[in-house]
């Protein structure tokens, strides 16, 4: 499992170091940053593929992301899959939160879970929200969870 950029370049240093370098680079260019972390998954013939992203948003100047792909070699229930996505995002957020606090960068954790009870992913909404908020992170769900539902969705 290796982090990469959207254009496929492998990140050869620890992800925390890469994030710190990105923050220093972007803030030195005058950009105000926000980081959004999200994960998504797809079931494919007997296994589950995951993608987790760290999205850097430059205020009014676009953004970029770092990507981590992972795979589970068995099928699991929709609820377990949603909670695993959230757990992956929380693990990344927890590893980076002290760094982001030091540089005064806002952090959000996005869950690819629909707030509409008519959708299957809604079965895990309460647990996901409790998990993320309980860890002290800002929480976003669909339709506001673009890091998971748009960014990670495109690279899973």
Question: What Å distances lie between residue 40 and 15, 131, 148, CA to CA?
Answer: 19, 17, 6
Confidence of residue 113 (pLDDT cuts 50, 70, 90): confident
pLDDT digits (tens, 9 = 90+) for 30-83: 999 999 999 999 999 889 999 999 999 999 999 999 999 999 999 899 889 989
pTM for the model = 0.92
pLDDT of residue 86: 94
Confidence of residue 116 (pLDDT cuts 50, 70, 90): confident
pLDDT of residue 115: 81
Q: Is the pLDDT of residue 117 over 90?
A: no
Q: Where are the domains of the chain?
A: 3-155
Confidence of residue 144 (pLDDT cuts 50, 70, 90): very high
* Sheet arrangement for strand 47-58: 3-5, 63-72, 47-58, 33-44, 106-114, 138-142
Give dist(CA 82, CA 32) in Å, integer.
31
**Angle of helix 78-102 versus helix 125-134 axis, rounded to 10:** 20
- For the domain covering 3-155, report its CATH number: 3.30.420
pLDDT digits (tens, 9 = 90+) for 125-143: 888 889 899 999 999 998 8
3-state helix/strand/coil string of 13-42: CCHHHHHHHHHHHHHHCCCCEEEEEEEEEE
pLDDT of residue 15: 98
Give dist(CA 69, CA 113) in Å, integer.
19
């Amino acid at each position: 499992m290796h982090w990469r950029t959207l254009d496929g370049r492998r990140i050869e240093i620890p992800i925390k170091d890469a994030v710190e370098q990105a923050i220093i680079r972007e803030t030195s260019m005058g950009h105000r940053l926000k980081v959004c972390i999200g994960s998504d998954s797809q079931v494919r013939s007997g296994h589950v593929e995951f993608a987790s992203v760290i999205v850097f948003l430059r205020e009014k100047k676009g953004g970029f992301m770092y990507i981590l792909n992972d795979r589970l070699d068995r099928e699991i229930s929709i609820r377990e899959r949603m909670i695993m996505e959230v757990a992956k995002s929380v693990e990344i957020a927890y590893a980076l939160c002290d760094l982001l606090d030091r540089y005064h960068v806002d952090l959000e954790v996005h869950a690819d879970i629909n707030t509409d009870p008519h959708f299957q992913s809604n079965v895990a909404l309460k647990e996901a929200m409790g998990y993320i908020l309980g860890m002290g992170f800002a929480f976003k769900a669909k339709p506001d969870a673009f890091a998971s539902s748009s960014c990670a969705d495109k690279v899973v």
